[in-house]
Amino acid sequence: MHTAIITSFGLVLLALMLFIGEKIGLGRQILAYSFVVLWLALTVINGAVGMVHAGQSLSTELAVGSVVFGVPVAALVLFTVLSPA
């Protein structure tokens, strides 16, 4: 359940960054790079917390972290490919 919540948070963060960023006039490339860096940092922090507090192994956190990181980034790629410039 935690994985679904964090992944959903990533999708909401992506939507907010794209919406607010385009409203204030930032380019999509800057927004995309900013989101990827921010989301990677948050995913790594989430994995570290899972290892320290929940007692998860590194291999488990790497597998779950790749899904948590990958789904919002895949949504970003789909958005940039499918939306008009």
What pLDDT, on a 0 to 100 scale, did the predictor assign at position 84? Answer: 85
Q: Rounded CA gap, 12 and 27, in Å? A: 19
Q: What is the reported pTM? A: 0.92
Taking only the tens of pLDDT, the chain with its 85 residues reads 999 999 999 999 999 999 999 999 999 999 999 999 999 999 999 999 999 999 999 999 999 999 999 999 999 999 999 988 6
Single-letter amino acid code for the residue at 23: K
Q: How many CA atoms lie within 13 A of 85 on its CB side?
A: 2
